[in-house]
Amino acid sequence: MKVLTKQELHNLAMNIVGKRLQEMGYEFVAINSELKKHPQFVLFKKGEPTIFVLVKATNNLQNPNTYDTVWMETFKQHAEKQGASVWFAGVGLANAESVDLPVLKDQPYYVAFENILKLTN
């Protein structure tokens, strides 16, 4: 059994968030799945400002929406210069047998993802 890499966990989180964004009626202007490159999604919906969505995969199932506030302030300033809103989506992923074990390829896992945080308007 193969342990998922950080990139594979990130891609899994992006797929989960991407489906939710599509359900919300957004079009993807750009998608970037490379780790540590932000934003992951640039969204468009007629009548709304451009939206930058940051996606973070974490093993924190209790509170997946925690993020580095200092870094986020810097990113918000960048988005503001672009006239864009900033949203954050933390996705908790854990092995279904035990949260102490890594997530394995083709094995059951838990997902903790409830909402997308709208950090700026």
Two structure tokens written together for 58: 């974490």
- pLDDT tens-place string over residues 33-83: 999 899 999 999 988 899 999 999 999 899 999 999 999 999 999 999 999
Q: Does residue 91 contact residue 4 with C-beta atoms inside 8 Å? A: no
Q: Does residue 54 contact residue 40 with C-beta atoms inside 8 Å? A: yes
Fold of 6-118: Trna Endonuclease; Chain: A, domain 1 (3.40.1350)
> Whole-angstrom Cα distance, residue 44 to residue 103?
33
Whole-structure pTM value: 0.92
The per-residue pLDDT for 1 is 83
